[in-house]
Amino acid sequence: MKHLTLTILFILLLVFSAFSQSQCPKITMTASDSLIKIGDSITFSVSVEGIDNQKLKFLWTTSNGTIVSGQTAKITIATTPEMAGMTIRATVEIMGLPQDCQNIASFFGAIEKELPACVGKPFKMDEIYKSSWRDEKPRLQNVAYQFQPDEDSVIVIVISAPQNDKTGFIKNRSERFRKFLTKVSKIPKDKIKILSREQKDYVIEFYFVLLNSFDAFQDGIKSTSVSSSPQSQSKRRKGN
């Protein structure tokens, strides 16, 4: 009989708990913008449906930036130029909700990345000499992070290898980098340009290039290839 009583009490507790959860207010958070300009402020708001909001208190915290107004159902967070490229996570704890109801919610906003100071002409982001994928991957991740895929610019990867290379360096790196940038970093395929040239060293260079200057940039890369140099062409003619 004792076990039966305990079982009934346990079932009643589960039913009461489920009923309590079904009566919990609905919490919704929004941000004034999903992407804000460097140095601008962002406003987060929270709404609680199914309860008198006048009886609630709100305690906000933020992962980045400074709360300049709020601690009500709405706050404004100021950002600084040093926060370019960062993500802001605003978290609110709502006090005054029924017991056992969820009372913490979070929402995110992002700050634009800072463009290179020399945007408007080809910008060399990085240069890597032949190394392992473990060393190349974080460098590639940083390039992808800094790139802003607007309609006017592309990432250009210049891969150099000796003329007599038999390791497939250019082909392997081209396929690996393109796959990583499109599949992992989610950069559109048409924003990635890969060029190759013959040089004495194995080198990978990353550039940000305006689309309307890509053809001229490509011609410049071709002109620096060993196979395009006057000395190389002279040797080929003699060999023939």
Whether residues 127 and 221 fall in one domain: yes
The answer to whether residue 11 sits within a structural domain is no
Whether residues 95 and 163 fall in one domain: no
133: domain range? 123-239
Structural domains in the chain (count):
2
Whether residues 80 and 144 fall in one domain: no
**Amino acid 120: pLDDT:** 59
Question: Using an 8 Å Cβ cutoff, are 155 and 187 in contact?
Answer: yes
193 bridge partner residues: 156
Question: Using an 8 Å Cβ cutoff, are 188 and 147 in contact?
Answer: no
Confidence tier at 15 by pLDDT (50, 70, 90) = very low
Answer whether residue 238 shows pLDDT above 50: no
The answer to whether residue 15 sits within a structural domain is no
Of 63, 81, 111, the residue that ends a domain is 111
> What does the mean pLDDT of the chain come to?
81
Whether residues 134 and 210 fall in one domain: yes
Whether residues 166 and 76 fall in one domain: no
Confidence tier at 237 by pLDDT (50, 70, 90) = very low
DSSP per-residue codes, 49-101 = ETS-GGG-EEEEEESSSEEEE-SSSEEEEE--GGGTT-EEEEEEEEESSPTTS
Length of the chain measured in residues: 240
Answer whether residue 73 shows pLDDT above 70: yes
Q: Is the pTM here over 0.85, yes or no?
A: no
Chain segment 116-135, per-residue pLDDT in tens: 544 457 888 889 998 888 88
CATH number for the domain spanning 139: value is: 3.30.1330
Whether residues 61 and 168 fall in one domain: no
Whether residues 147 and 210 fall in one domain: yes
**Amino acid 22: pLDDT:** 53
Nearest to 108 by CA among 36, 25, 39: 36
Answer whether residue 45 shows pLDDT above 90: yes
